[in-house]
Structure 1
Amino acid sequence: MKLLILDRDGVINEDSDAYIKTLDEWIPIPSSITAIARLSQAGWTVAVATNQSGIARGYYDMATLESMHARLRQLVAEQGGEVGLIVHCPHGPDDGCDCRKPKPGMLQQIAAHYATELAGIWFVGDSSGDLQAALAVDCQPVLVKTGKGERTLAKPLPPGTLVFDDLAAVADQLLS
């Protein structure tokens, strides 16, 4: 199985330090939507693992989150692609869960869903927490410079981290 796992905010859509709280605030990065569709058409399964502590903080509810993900699926489908499993962590940073990145729980959920091993699977994110979660389950950490990526790049990266300008560049590499 050709599996690619993506973080959401900052990789697929614009990020905001004030949280993405409404469907109107969920602004896709156009090249990311195209990249997901291209990968899907080429036989890749594209899954998403996203921290959504705004739910625990009361900034938005599950229905709003689901509307964002429905919009993502719709936009990718309009380009002939498909989004695979989307998992989210609704917990706050102090809730002690095992799913909130940098913990690997969401990546393990995806592996269990697809009955596959994670070793060597690319996990694309824009934050240190994403890269740490990847390492915790032997995924290949991949950093994109979109979202918080430039800020993350200013800090030491885990050894072996691959760096790309954006998700479109990741797709170009995987499809070449």
Structure 2
Amino acid sequence: MTKIIVLDRDGVINEDSDNFIKSAGEWQPISGSLEAIARLNKAGWTVAVATNQSGIKRRYYDRATLSQMHMKMQKLLQEHGGRVDWLNYSPYLSDCGSVCRKPLDGMLRAIELRYDCALKGMPMVGDSLADIQAAKMLGLQPFLVRTGKGERSLASGDKCLQNVPVYANLYEFVEEWLA
């Protein structure tokens, strides 16, 4: 059976900004996140990323620039002996109704199709309510990190966060998950 973990990108793997990450130069990993992904890879986990990237529709950056960000991420991961195996992104705005945009589960269903398996019960790590809602919609096991929008998500008191384990960051999650 394929072991798949789903990660959000901004706020989980890399630093996030309310002004958007608009270039490869602005894309900076969160301390420990690259090492965490490499540890997951070495432990036999397939690492998939599902990330909302509405900055494309907002015309803050284009798909080629997003590709440069992802190439930078993969290059830095290689230096740590890691990789992202599958990357999905949604360029849509929240009001367009696309099933591909979290909190809906279209990106997660695409991962299931790609790997011909169900994600039910697999872990998903995010920093936003949308991440947690998408995970729950498809039956993944959600985890929240305090990085990125994590603290803001916790402060919301939203009911979707009930019984969702919370970690300081991706590295702390992976340390406990693999222990």
Fold-level similarity (TM above 0.5)? yes
Tell me, yes or no, if structure 1 residue 156 matches structure 2 residue 158.
Answer: yes
- The Cα shift of 1:94 comes to 1.7
| SS class of match (2:32) | helix
Distance in 2, Cα, partners of 1:64 & 1:74: 15
- TM-fit CA distance, 1:161: 1.1
Question: Does residue 63 of structure 2 align to residue 69 of structure 1?
Answer: no
Secondary structure at 2:96's aligned position in 1?
coil
Q: Within 2, Cα distance between the matches of 1:173 and 1:6? A: 16
Count of residues in correspondence between the two structures: 176
Over the matched positions of the two proteins, sequence identity in percent amounts to: 51
1:157 CA drift (Å) = 4.3
In the alignment, what sits opposite 1:46?
47
**Other-structure match for 1:172:** 175
Structure 1, gaps ≥5 residues long? none
Q: Cα deviation per residue 1:96-124 (whole Å; 9 max; x = unaligned)?
A: 21111001100111111111111111111
Supply the distance in 2 between the matched residues of 1:157 and 1:22 (Cα, whole angstroms): 35
1:27-106 residue pairs with structure 2 within 5 A?
27-106=28-107
Counterparts of 1:90 and 1:156 in 2: how far apart (Å)? 25
Give the corresponding residue for 1:136.
137
Which SS does the other structure have where 1:107 is aligned? helix
Q: Secondary structure at the match of 1:160?
A: coil
Take 1:37 and 1:10, find their aligned partners in 2: how far apart are those partners? 18
Match of 1:5 in 2: 6
The 8 Å contact of residues 34 and 82 in structure 2, kept in 1 or not, is answered as no
How far off its partner does 1:95 sit? 1.6
> Does the CA contact (< 8 Å) of 2:124 and 2:140 recur in 1?
yes
User: What is the root-mean-square deviation in Å for CA atoms of aligned residues?
Assistant: 1.0
Q: Determine whether 1:147 maps to 2:145.
A: no
Given the two structures, how large is their TM-score scaled by the length of structure 2?
0.95
Name the structure 1 match of 2:120: 119
Contact persistence 1:141–1:160 (CA under 8 A): no
SS of the equivalent of 1:23 reads coil
Aligned-residue offset at 1:125? 0.4
CA separation of 1:78 and 1:165: change in aligned 2, threshold 3 A: same
What is the distance in 1 between the residues matched to 2:83 and 2:23?
Answer: 23
Query: TM-score, normalising length from structure 1?
Result: 0.97
Note the C-alpha offset of 1:82.
1.8
Q: 1:170 to 1:157 in 2, by over 3 A?
A: farther
